[in-house]
Structure 1
Amino acid sequence: MPFLRPLALLRRAFTAALSCRALWVMAFVVALPLLSPPCGMAGPMASQENAMSSAGAGQTSPPLPPTNEPLAGLTARAKSGDPRAQLQLGMLHEEGRGVPQDLRRAEALYRQAIAKGDANAMNQLAVLIDSGRSSSSDRGEAVRLFRKAAEKGNGLAAYNLGLMLREGRGTRKDWPQAAYWLACADVLGEARAMKDLPPRVTQAGS
């Protein structure tokens, strides 16, 4: 079940808040305690995603921690269907670390991990698509992947989704929705998210 489902009505509050500073502050204050408990459902991976490096138009997962596992072992685990191994191996191929850079192989591995529900792989592939480095040029798919990962509690995906909605990439520009997802990203640990609020929201809160 998407962790944000109980908060669906809050989107209306964010929409109404855009024209009034007091309403905006009130809506955000109300949202924080409601968002915080389910954010804990994101698991340890969400907390590992906060120190990111820029890649393309979005933010990717952080460099993986050093591992003594031989490449052959990681490859074997990926082939056996381990989504974490598929994500790790995909990132190695995307960045060309220890293996030849192969974006198509990276994409295939991300899709395998996504089939197992891995939210980090969803974010990785969405960034690959949005940056024009994927076999797919459908930014709408990137938006859908960001949204699915964000609903699983992935703060980076919520941040990236907010940016897509703010800028109208792969979807129509929607400032209320952008503000909503950026606020969710902030609660999930993406401190920079509130600095990237749409101009209309920033002006209302100034």
Structure 2
Amino acid sequence: MPSHEQQQQEPAAGAGAGADFSALPPELVHRALAAAGASDVAAASRACRAWRDALRPLREAAALHARGRRVKHAAGAAAAAGAEGRKAERQRALGLFQRAARLGSAAAMVDAGLMCWEEGRRDEAVGCYQKAAELGHPVGMCNLGVSYLEADPPKAEEAVRWFYPAAAAGNARAQYNLGLCLQNGKGIKRNQREAAKWYLRAAEGGNVRAMYNISLCYNYGEGFSQDQVRSKRWLQLAADCGHKKALYECGIKLCAAGDKVRSLMYLELATRRGEAAASHMRDVILESLSLVNAQRALSDADKWRPRALYTRR
């Protein structure tokens, strides 16, 4: 949805330059901005008195939501508080999210749903995601789709129904999940070309799993023409971001190319992330290297940090 300032500059066809947006029903204004960010709500509130009054609950919700996120972050970081202290702070954060959700904040509905999901209260979580999704919040739509996939039994068709609008809105995780459904024929007819298209969009949006999958698509010519250069580039980027299978495969390729020191570093990183196939190969290379080179590779693994990427939500 364009911002109010854009609407003023570009009146809708037939509305005329003097269109009176203050005449919109308050509930319509509130619903239209429920999935917007706090800055957009604040900007819309300055448009006119009617909008300011209509959006007062969302401004209050934005403040509560921001407080809830600070409390949740602090609870996660406060190791000294102990398990009981962290639990109490998480409940406080959840309470703030729920208050903000009752005032209409779709983002707060998503965060409340996530906390309920983490605590095993899945029905409550799905209810929160459903409300956020119906307000058009992309993360809410994506999380609702994931919830349907993980239901017992799975509701794949419902999942796909929510992944599509979230993916179209630019949510990288929804794009990745839609690609998976298309690749595997879950809830929709199998279509490798469409799957690859969504993987690519998700990878470009920062989704690390999609980066790995798109490297496979290019490697095997699935959905795209075979392209080893692009495959290698996406595999390397996935590894740089910490994808365990990508780290393992980069390690294997480096070993085959004769670079055993860097190979050991990648295989060590893959092993630390739980890639079972990496540990045997790591041990073989470890025995073949001098002590100095082995220590250098392991030291590099200790110092390695995954590449930080912005992920479209």
**Could you state the TM-score of these two structures normalised by the residue count of structure 2?**
0.41
- Name the structure 2 match of 1:33: none
Distance 1:202 1:121, change over 3 A: farther
Question: CA contact under 8 A between 1:153 and 1:188: conserved in structure 2?
Answer: no
String of CA shifts for 1:69-125, please: whole Å, max 9, x gaps: 45333211111111111111111111215xx52111100100111122100000011
Question: CA contact under 8 A between 1:154 and 1:188: conserved in structure 2?
Answer: no
- Name the structure 2 match of 1:180: 233
Structure 1, gaps ≥5 residues long: 1-63
| Code of the aligned partner of 1:75 | Q
CA distance, structure 1, for counterparts of residue 151 and residue 214 of structure 2: 27
| Code of the aligned partner of 1:144 | K
CA distance, structure 2, for counterparts of residue 202 and residue 165 of structure 1: 22
Instruction: Kindly indicate whether residue 210 of structure 2 is the aligned counterpart of residue 157 of structure 1.
Output: yes
| Code of the aligned partner of 1:89 | L
Residue in structure 1 matching 2:176, options 109, 123, 126: 123
| Code of the aligned partner of 2:170 | G
Query: How many Å apart are 1:177 and its aligned residue?
Result: 1.3
- Name the structure 2 match of 1:148: 201
CA distance, structure 1, for counterparts of residue 171 and residue 134 of structure 2: 16
Distance 1:119 1:103, change over 3 A: same
Question: CA contact under 8 A between 2:160 and 2:187: conserved in structure 1?
Answer: yes
- Name the structure 2 match of 1:169: 222
The 5 A counterparts of 1:11-160 are 65-66=118-119, 68=121, 69-97=124-152, 101-160=154-213
Query: How many Å apart are 1:135 and its aligned residue?
Result: 1.6
Determine helix, strand or coil for the equivalent of 2:118: coil
Range with greater deviation from structure 2 (88-97 or 178-187): 88-97
Question: CA contact under 8 A between 1:179 and 1:201: conserved in structure 2?
Answer: no
- Name the structure 1 match of 2:306: none
CA distance, structure 2, for counterparts of residue 175 and residue 118 of structure 1: 27
Which protein is richer in helix relative to its size? Answer: 2
The 5 A counterparts of 1:181-196 are 181-196=234-249
- Name the structure 2 match of 1:50: none
Name the Cα RMSD after superposition.
Answer: 2.5
Distance 1:72 1:195, change over 3 A: closer
CA distance, structure 2, for counterparts of residue 122 and residue 66 of structure 1: 26
Query: How many Å apart are 1:202 and its aligned residue?
Result: 6.4
Query: How many Å apart are 1:67 and its aligned residue?
Result: 6.4
CA distance, structure 1, for counterparts of residue 201 and residue 125 of structure 2: 32
Range with greater deviation from structure 2 (184-193 or 69-78): 69-78
| Code of the aligned partner of 1:174 | D
Distance 1:126 1:105, change over 3 A: same
Distance 1:149 1:79, change over 3 A: same
Question: CA contact under 8 A between 2:158 and 2:187: conserved in structure 1?
Answer: no
CA distance, structure 2, for counterparts of residue 194 and residue 72 of structure 1: 38
| Code of the aligned partner of 2:118 | P
Higher relative contact order (CA 8 A, sep 6+): 1
Larger Rg: 2
Q: How many residues are paired up? A: 141
Identical-residue share of aligned pairs (%): 26
